[in-house]
Amino acid sequence: MAQGYKQMLADADAVVQSVSVDQAAAMKTNPQVIMVDIRDPRELEREGMIPQAFHAPRGMLEFWIDPESPYHKSRFAEGKTYVFYCASGWRSLLAARLAQDMGLEARSLRGGFGEWRKSGQPVAEYPARR
């Protein structure tokens, strides 16, 4: 039988360092840290995003990280620490695990953007698609 999502999350949690909102807020000002929002553009349009975060849709992550891919984004070749986040932290935990497996220094924001907003941290608007 295939591995279920709960086991996948537990496996990822065992190897990925998750950071709290307070830790992420402190890290955000470090030029060696890149916040990566993996949510769908509709989520960003509706809810906003962490200011100065880099948007990398979850569905393209493998292709954007791999330098051999025709879709590679140089932002993932900067040798920095990447803090991935989604709405609640599940997708970003799996994304951070993937990024880590692909050679990046990756973290996951515990509680995701929902916790970020709830804690009163700043939120930037994401421009609506036309």
pLDDT tens, the chain, 130 aa long: 678 999 999 999 999 999 999 999 999 999 999 999 999 999 999 999 999 999 999 999 999 999 999 999 999 999 999 999 999 999 999 999 999 999 999 999 999 999 999 999 999 998 766 5
Q: Which pLDDT value is given to residue 127?
A: 76
Rounded to whole angstroms, the Cα distance separating 129 from 107 reads 29
* pTM summary value: 0.94
Question: How do the residues of the chain divide into helix, strand and coil, expressed in percent and rounded to 5?
Answer: 45, 15, 40
Contact call for residues 95 and 84 (beta carbons, < 8 A): yes
Please return the burial class of 1, using the count of CB atoms within 10 Å of its CB with bins 0-12, 13-18 and 19+: exposed
Query: Collapsing DSSP states into helix, strand and coil, what is residue 113?
Result: helix
- Name the residue among 79, 81, 82, 62 with its Cα closest to residue 71: 62
Q: Which pLDDT value is given to residue 74?
A: 97
Q: Which pLDDT value is given to residue 130?
A: 54
Q: Which CATH superfamily is domain 5-118 in?
A: Rhodanese-like domain (3.40.250.10)
- Name the residue among 44, 24, 31, 22 with its Cα closest to residue 84: 24
- Name the residue among 50, 24, 42, 25 with its Cα closest to residue 124: 50
